[in-house]
Structure 1
Amino acid sequence: MDAMVFGATGFIGRSLVAELLTRGQRVAAAVRNDTLTPWLTSQGVDIERLEIVTADITRPLPELPEVRDVYNTAARFAFGLDSREARAVNVTGALNVVEWAAGLPELRRLVHISGYRVSAAGGHPGDIAPGAYEASKLEGDLAVRARCQESGVPLSVVNPSTVIGPGQYIGLAGLVGDLWNGKLPVLPGGPDTFVPIVTVGHLARFLAEVPAAPPGESYWVLDDTTPPLPELIGTIAYHMGLRAPRRTVPVALLRRLPRTVTRADPETLSFLSADRYPTASAHALAAGAGLEMPPAADALRAWADDLVAARFGTASPWSKPYGFRDVAGSRTWMTGERYSPGHVLLHGLPLNADSWAPLAARIPGPVLAPDLPGLGRSAAATGSVDAWLEDLMSPVRTRPVLVAHSLACAPVVRFAAAHPDRVSGLVLVSPSFLQAPGPRLARSGLAAPMLRRMSAARLARTLGVPAGAEVASAAADLHRPGVARRVVTALRGDAAERDRSRTLLGRVDVPVRIIAGSTDRPLVAAGHPMTEIEGAGHYPHLTHPTQLARHLGAASAPVGG
């Protein structure tokens, strides 16, 4: 093997394995349970040169004498750890890797991953006593250096800062999560608090270069241009369409307040510092290898998209690409193909674009599925929904089929009437303007506070749909400030607007198909072909996606631009 990676299923380890395999190296990956192979396959990485080795660094390690480079990316990273649990991996386990590497006859380098708040001299750069995690990393750093010097193991130490990228939900991600959920009224720290970042992709490429450099060096791998914490959070907040907190609370004050007030783990406070770090050696190695970090602001925005798409680690994105885009003054969340979709899917209430996932998996070609302005993950727009839809469709180069559900049907009809040359057809699923005033959720008299507190299971029961990931996604958005209130406002409807939509539907000069559940039939004739799905209610895309996809395919086909 060219390389052995311990901790290969971790956030850093798996990205390193992917990088080494992409470079054509033969890699042995030490895992306790093989979740690595499926992940690599999902990333399109060729695993022909990969060997999975069952190993636990807290126990005796297997013999693999042909290894040249050894990477220890294994660590127990969490706050609130018991000291024994932290030391088992971060100290004892790290020393086990040193002893194992010392017995390799062809060893070129042991690369040990430490931390940017750990100094080579062994001191703690802050004035706050470290918690169990950080204390164990500090102890492990010193112990590994000493043991390697005693045994003659060629060592390089890499000290990464906050590593961001898809799959990172610890540390800074918690602060972003509080921002997203409206639970960050003030920022911890001060105006010069420096929490540097590095992307996991850059770190993996850097690690792959380390064994070829001279041994004995320590590398602080971080982006010196990372903005101070208030500006960092401001960048993410603007990208998400949120207001960033304007006030800060000094760490010294946070230390004196009870955790029930601050909602902050005391261990995180030592990371809130204005300290800077010795990055010269890392910059020199990166420059020699032709490695460049992506701009910090771009990296933060991309990571924010990843966090929201994965619901901060509680869900899996159903399609790519995804992210926030500016549409008519709304920071709009959209999933799928923005420029050449075959279908544009517009959700009803109280759902979001994720409600289309079961249908999108069953129809051919690319789709575009945004969250409507002010709903789901999208920020409110400054203008009308019609202006928003105009701007959403402006970069679309195809003539897609517009598929709308419930309350989204009216703006789709207006767009098609104004731009018949821009769409190849309409599919209206359970159009609310053809039904009795207000869908079932509105007629239930549900108030915004009740809707905001509703669990995913209860929301599913209220809607009469399966309690799947799509409903859980909608429930998560309803818990965010303002979303439930805007849903309830939209559900009230406008009788005059309903009449206008019915009249305008008769003037639309593109093919129109209406699809409804047999238990949720329109009460008003539309003058267009209508298909019923037996046994379905108001949400056939959630209860009967296969039947809906079949009818959707029969209704119309997208026309290329």
Structure 2
Amino acid sequence: MATEPDALVVGATGLIGRWLTAELLGRGRAVAATVRGGPARADGLRAWLRERGADDRALTTVAADVTRPGLALPPADGDRLRAVRDVFGTAAVYRFGLGRDEARRANVDGALHVARWAAALPRLRRLVHVSGYRAGAADAPVPAGELDGLYRRYGAYEASKREGDAAVRAFAEQAGVPLTVVNPSGVIGHSVTGEAGQYIGLAELVERLWTGRLPALAGTRRTFVPVVAVDHLARFMAAVPEHDTGPYRAHWVLDAATPELPELIGDLARHLGVRAPRAVVPVGLVRRLPRALIGVDPETLPFLSEDRYDTASADALAAAAGLAHPPAADALRAWADRLVAERFGRAEPPLPGGFRTVGGARTYVAGDRRSPARVLLHGLPLDGESWRGVAAELDGPALVADLPGLGRSAPAPGAPDAWLADLLAPVRTRPVVVAHSAAAGPALRFAHARPERVGALVLVSPYFLQRRPAPHLRAPALVGPALRTASPARLGRVLLGGEAPDGPALRALEDAAAQLRRPGVARRTARWLARAQRPSERAALRSLAESCPVPLRLVAGEADPLVAAVPGVPVTVVRGAGHHPQLSRPAEVAAAIAEAAAEAVPAG
């Protein structure tokens, strides 16, 4: 395997840079990658690449700083890179609200430093510079007298990208550097996994949609904000040096099939099970409204245009390289799933999943939908992420879903029992069904209705066998507002007692608090809690437990014990735990589930 780098990715830890590095390595290229921040950043890049199946043995990492001449490369690193033929300039600062000087250091001076360094390479084949689908329309160069107006009109980020694009083109022409400028549109996540790791731009609009803070859209019914999946962009850029010739080429890389913005947002709203904005407000009016009212950064407004873009050259190169855009609608939905699961950059990588229609409700479903060994159903006021710690301790695949109307799922038109039956309809195994607290009722009723579909049943903190909560906790009018404003710390004190949550437990509490702030979730959680405490409901479920047709095991925390026994049913008491032992003692809950699995009725 070649170890002398013949390709250099500048800015390899950024969104585009890391996916491009993975693509080049996958094509068998020996790649050098510039990183800032010391060995830890280089190690982090290598770990990221390995997690996505890339072989990093042909990767060389070098410390560099694009804001300094010569990229601040030590002489030894400069010597190691003399054989580089293709230079990919992906380094930039992408953030709204930048100061002009900060933006120019990276996006103008940095871009020129990369171009000048590339010009000195003895075997340079191509410099590939990443600009932007709006920035690429700038003249080259931007007259000095127009710079102040440029920055006032567009803001520091977009203006610096326009200035940098023009400056690189002017330098390349003067120095005779073979240059390709790639002008991507808004870059969304991987077309299959949805992973991006970037949460500004269109992602911020999706966040406001998800959290119920998008009453209207700025623009018109024909506003066009095109997108490109990051994996397609990486494949395209990797192919550029093999196909482009001549002193200068430019490509607008975007999916022309991207729906116009109102349709795009409407499609995502239906996919996520939330309400789409109906009103469209002209950009001119939005500019005059207070930012606190509209929630829109003024720097994003120039992107809300009806303009279309010439993609002929990009389409021709893609065809020659055997590339095609993945379906835009599918890529957008996968990206939205991932954004929601990561809480828009506020959470660690999620249990892999996405939104599906279950029982008439858009439901967040993670894991194996057809062959799970376990089905994990959460209680109140949590969501499926509350099983993360337990799932890590279990063998075999699991199916995890947010209950209808709770967590990330939309309300179902029917009863939870019908929703659960539809969730399990595609399952071809005979799994152990594990239900916490409020989910115990639907799980018990399903086991009675379809015992041949359940290997065993584990009820964690079955509320109908425990003390009823205080009267004020059974009043939705009081509980709903309290839940909506609860912080993760407050939820932790209520759910875990005096224990300080960390790891998966902290993630679950942060997830719960975030979802409870979305419209309707806290109210529905309070109503579910009130219904579950009805004496008739509790008595009926006790009877079902006593006659359960499949092996049954109960799990309860020591601080929230069972007050009613079920004859012949084993009980696991988790020491030091309260009503949510799966958060505070996941290993012990997993052990109880494993014991139940050992006694489960096998499939067939």
Shared fold, TM over 0.5: yes
The equivalent position to 2:188 in structure 1, one of 146, 161, 164, is 164
Residue 127 (structure 1) shift = 13
Residue 164 (structure 1) shift = 0.1
Name the counterpart of 1:485: 523
Q: How does 1:55-74 map to 2 (within 5 A)?
A: 55-59=64-68, 60-61=70-71, 62=73, 63=78, 64-74=81-91
Give SS of 1:219's match. Answer: strand
The equivalent position to 2:93 in structure 1, one of 58, 73, 76, is 76
Q: Is the 8 A contact 1:333 1:370 kept in 2?
A: yes
Q: Is the 8 A contact 2:87 2:127 kept in 1?
A: yes
Answer yes or no: is 1:275 the counterpart of 2:279.
Answer: no
Name the counterpart of 2:17: 13
Name the counterpart of 2:508: 470
Residue 319 (structure 1) shift = 2.4
Give SS of 1:145's match. Answer: helix
Equivalent residue letter for 1:482: G
In structure 2, how many angstroms separate the alpha carbons of the residues matched to 1:117 and 1:131?
13
Name the counterpart of 2:224: 194
Residue 179 (structure 1) shift = 0.4
Deviations 1:29-75 (A, max 9, x none): 00103231121122121101000111111123221211010000001
Answer yes or no: is 1:449 the counterpart of 2:481.
Answer: yes
In 2 relative to 1, CA 296–10 (structure 1 residues): closer, same or farther, beyond 3 Å?
A: same
Answer yes or no: is 1:203 the counterpart of 2:233.
Answer: yes
The equivalent position to 2:131 in structure 1, one of 99, 108, 114, is 114
Name the counterpart of 1:104: 121
Deviates more, 1:137-146 or 1:460-469: 460-469
Give SS of 1:463's match. Answer: helix
Q: Is the 8 A contact 1:110 1:156 kept in 2?
A: yes
Answer yes or no: is 1:24 the counterpart of 2:24.
Answer: no
Q: Is the 8 A contact 1:374 1:486 kept in 2?
A: yes
Name the counterpart of 2:145: none
Residue 441 (structure 1) shift = 9.2
Give SS of 1:313's match. Answer: coil
Q: How many pairs are equivalent?
A: 559
Name the counterpart of 1:548: 589
In structure 2, how many angstroms separate the alpha carbons of the residues matched to 1:444 and 1:363?
37
Deviates more, 1:173-182 or 1:494-503: 494-503
Name the counterpart of 1:262: 294
In structure 1, how many angstroms separate the alpha carbons of the residues matched to 2:596 and 2:83?
62
Deviations 1:167-188 (A, max 9, x none): 1211000000000000001111
In structure 2, how many angstroms separate the alpha carbons of the residues matched to 1:188 and 1:353?
34
In 2 relative to 1, CA 298–127 (structure 1 residues): closer, same or farther, beyond 3 Å?
A: farther
Q: How does 1:336-355 map to 2 (within 5 A)?
A: 336-355=367-386
Give SS of 2:451's match. Answer: coil
Name the counterpart of 1:386: 417
Q: How does 1:79-90 map to 2 (within 5 A)?
A: 79-90=96-107
Answer yes or no: is 1:459 the counterpart of 2:468.
Answer: no
Q: Is the 8 A contact 2:187 2:227 kept in 1?
A: yes
Deviates more, 1:212-221 or 1:13-22: 212-221
Equivalent residue letter for 2:116: E
Deviates more, 1:305-314 or 1:519-528: 519-528
- State the TM-score, normalizing by the size of structure 1: 0.97
Q: Is the 8 A contact 2:128 2:182 kept in 1?
A: yes
In structure 2, how many angstroms separate the alpha carbons of the residues matched to 1:501 and 1:414?
8
Q: Is the 8 A contact 1:438 1:491 kept in 2?
A: no
In 2 relative to 1, CA 474–245 (structure 1 residues): closer, same or farther, beyond 3 Å?
A: same
Residue 305 (structure 1) shift = 0.5
In structure 2, how many angstroms separate the alpha carbons of the residues matched to 1:214 and 1:288?
13
Residue 76 (structure 1) shift = 0.6
Name the counterpart of 1:45: 54
Name the counterpart of 1:328: 359
Identity of aligned residues (%): 57
Q: Is the 8 A contact 2:136 2:183 kept in 1?
A: no
Name the counterpart of 2:257: 225
Answer yes or no: is 1:135 the counterpart of 2:159.
Answer: yes
Name the counterpart of 1:298: 330
In structure 1, how many angstroms separate the alpha carbons of the residues matched to 2:515 and 2:555?
27
Give SS of 1:267's match. Answer: helix
Q: How does 1:371-520 map to 2 (within 5 A)?
A: 371-438=402-469, 442=473, 446-464=478-496, 466-467=500-501, 468-492=506-530, 493=532, 494-520=534-560
In structure 2, how many angstroms separate the alpha carbons of the residues matched to 1:328 and 1:261?
37
Equivalent residue letter for 2:380: L
Q: Is the 8 A contact 1:315 1:469 kept in 2?
A: yes
Give SS of 1:53's match. Answer: strand
In 2 relative to 1, CA 318–261 (structure 1 residues): closer, same or farther, beyond 3 Å?
A: closer
The equivalent position to 2:566 in structure 1, one of 526, 529, 554, is 526
Give SS of 1:374's match. Answer: coil
Answer yes or no: is 1:152 the counterpart of 2:171.
Answer: no
Give SS of 1:323's match. Answer: strand
Deviations 1:477-530 (A, max 9, x none): 001010000111111122211111111112221100001112211111112111
Which protein has the bigger helix share? Answer: 2
Give SS of 2:157's match. Answer: helix
- State the TM-score, normalizing by the size of structure 2: 0.90
Q: Is the 8 A contact 1:37 1:47 kept in 2?
A: yes
In 2 relative to 1, CA 548–440 (structure 1 residues): closer, same or farther, beyond 3 Å?
A: farther
Gaps of 5+ in 1: none
Give SS of 1:515's match. Answer: strand
In structure 1, how many angstroms separate the alpha carbons of the residues matched to 2:212 and 2:137?
39
Residue 121 (structure 1) shift = 4.9
In structure 1, how many angstroms separate the alpha carbons of the residues matched to 2:28 and 2:16?
19
Give SS of 2:457's match. Answer: strand
In 2 relative to 1, CA 4–225 (structure 1 residues): closer, same or farther, beyond 3 Å?
A: same
Q: Is the 8 A contact 1:326 1:332 kept in 2?
A: yes
In structure 1, how many angstroms separate the alpha carbons of the residues matched to 2:510 and 2:309?
42
In structure 1, how many angstroms separate the alpha carbons of the residues matched to 2:579 and 2:134?
55
In structure 1, how many angstroms separate the alpha carbons of the residues matched to 2:355 and 2:500?
28
Residue 105 (structure 1) shift = 0.4
Gaps of 5+ in 2: 143-149, 190-194
In 2 relative to 1, CA 350–440 (structure 1 residues): closer, same or farther, beyond 3 Å?
A: farther
